[in-house]
Amino acid sequence: MRGTPETLDSQPLDRHTLERVGTVIAVHLNYPSRCAQRGRTPDQPSYFLKPASSLALSGATVERPAGTELLAFEGEVALVLGEPVHRVTPEQGWAAVAAVTAANDWGLYDMRTPDKGSNVRNKGGAGFTPLGPALIPAAGIDPAGLRVRTWVNGQIAQDDTTETLLFGFGRLIADLSQWLTLEAGDVILTGTPAGSSVAQPGDRVEVEVSTLDGAHATGRLLSVVTAGTVAANPAYGSTPTVTDEQRIEAWGSAEAAGLAPRQQQQPEANAPALSPDLRRRLEAVATATLSSQLRKRGLNNVSIDGLRCTRDGAKVVGTARTLRYVPGREDLFTQHGDGYNAQKRIVDDLHDGDVLVMEARGEKGAGTLGDILALRAQVAGAAAIITDGGVRDAAVVAELDMPTFYATAHPAVLGRRHVPWDTDVAVACGGTTVVPGDIIVADADGILVIPPALAEDLVEACLQQEHEETFIYAQVEAGHPVDGLFPLNAAWRTQYDVWAAENPRKL
Note the pLDDT tens digit of each residue in 26-53.
Answer: 999 999 999 888 878 888 999 999 999 9
Longest CA pairwise span in the chain (Å): 86
Q: What is the pTM of this model?
A: 0.54
Above pLDDT 70, what percent of the chain? 95
Q: Does the annotation place 370 within a ligand binding site? A: yes
pLDDT for the residue 13: 85
Q: What angle do CA 191, 19, 110 make, to 5 degrees?
A: 45
- The one-letter amino acid code at 311 reads R
Q: What is the average pLDDT score of the chain?
A: 91
Q: Does the annotation place 350 within a ligand binding site? A: no
CATH code of the region 5-231: 3.90.850.10
Residues 78/104, Cβ–Cβ less than 8 Å: no
Question: What pLDDT digit, counting tens, does each position of 280-303 carry?
Answer: 999 999 999 999 999 999 999 999
Count how many residues are written for the chain. Answer: 507
pLDDT for the residue 11: 66
Question: What pLDDT digit, counting tens, does each position of 425-478 carry?
Answer: 999 999 999 999 999 999 999 999 999 989 999 999 999 999 999 999 999 999
pLDDT for the residue 118: 83
Span 7-33, average pLDDT: 81
**All structural domains of the chain with their residue ranges:** 5-231, 301-450, 457-502
Q: In this model, does residue 253 exceed pLDDT 60?
A: yes
First to last CA, the chain: 44
Residues 171/58, Cβ–Cβ less than 8 Å: no
Residues 375/338, Cβ–Cβ less than 8 Å: no
Q: Does the annotation place 392 within a ligand binding site? A: yes
Residue 406 host element (H or E): strand 404-406
Residues sharing a CB contact under 8 Å with residue 178, sequence separation 6 or more, in sequence order: 87
Q: Does the annotation place 372 within a ligand binding site? A: yes
Which of 10, 11, 123, 133 has its CA nearest to residue 60?
133
Distance (Å, whole) CA 231 – CA 504: 13
Span 170-179, average pLDDT: 97
Q: In this model, does residue 167 exceed pLDDT 70?
A: yes
Span 67-92, average pLDDT: 96
Least trusted range by pLDDT, from 28-42, 169-183, 411-425: 28-42
Q: In this model, does residue 384 exceed pLDDT 80?
A: yes
Question: What pLDDT digit, counting tens, does each position of 203-222 carry?
Answer: 999 999 999 999 999 999 99
Span 354-362, average pLDDT: 97
Distance (Å, whole) CA 477 – CA 475: 5
Residues 432/303, Cβ–Cβ less than 8 Å: yes
> In sequence order, what are the beta bridge partners of 47?
27
Same topology, domains 5-231 and 301-450? Answer is no
* CATH architecture of the region 301-450: 3-Layer(bba) Sandwich (3.50)
